[in-house]
A = this chain, B = another copy of it.
């Protein structure tokens, strides 16, 4: 049987050797293990972004894949170091600090164990408390993937209800209207994605080709207000024009053809960033 893939997700950046140190620890445990770099440019200290990224990426990977997600502003303090087993049959090795929010809510977490750091810590690193990504998380993932320890050997179970989560705002759908939040902004192309599924959007009655009244707010402040075409992709509107489209994981998105929607309108993500689709014009 194939050994599982390990996927690394951190806010460590690519300018120095932190990421390679994690690869090296895993290679030293078992040179046959295969490791993918999901991203190391998660916005620093922002577990919400890591949480969304895990939800976005994990369904593309096989059952058994072990994600190591380390966005860990509280490294070395009392937050739990954990391994979660998800409803997709994958594992997430991570500080339990909010990173599991989206996976728990949208996929489901079957159980979670707290890493016993006395057994699962790279020997010789007892005095170092700022690089658990290497010394605890990559080390534990490597030994789990190699079959040196079992999932049960990680440490004791604790209740799934105790997992630290950010609040999740549900979307709201009615005939001709849809409301939700900005779930994520893509910092590269500048598209934004809402927590409204394509299926729900269609149930509300919107269809491709419609021109829809849209309002995006940060708290009480309106940041975008306009009528926007709902099309299959960017290329169906003029250069620099906004467009509503079906995002690539099943959620309604907005973008600008060859431009950045989030930069142009200064849109960020989170529960206070709300969107309303107020009917077809």
A61 located at the interface, meaning its Cβ lies under 8 Å from any Cβ of chain B in the complex: yes
A74 located at the interface, meaning its Cβ lies under 8 Å from any Cβ of chain B in the complex: yes
* A233 close to B134 (CB less than 8 A): no
Contacts of A187 in B (CB 8 A): 13, 15-16
The contact string, 1 if C-beta is below 8 Å from chain B, for chain A 40-62, is 11101100000001001110111
* A16 close to B31 (CB less than 8 A): no
Distance in angstroms between the alpha carbons of A75 and B253 in the assembled complex? 15
- Interface centre among A22, A60, A135, by most B CB within 10 Å? A60
Known: A21-B56, A21-B57, A233-B77. A15 touches B31 (CB 8 A): no
Known: A31-B5, A248-B134, A250-B128. A74 touches B16 (CB 8 A): no
Number of copies: 3
The contact string, 1 if C-beta is below 8 Å from chain B, for chain A 1-20, is 01001010100111111111
Contacts of A42 in B (CB 8 A): 15
The 7 closest A-B pairs by CB, nearest first: A76-B233, A24-B60, A13-B188, A131-B248, A17-B57, A77-B235, A24-B61
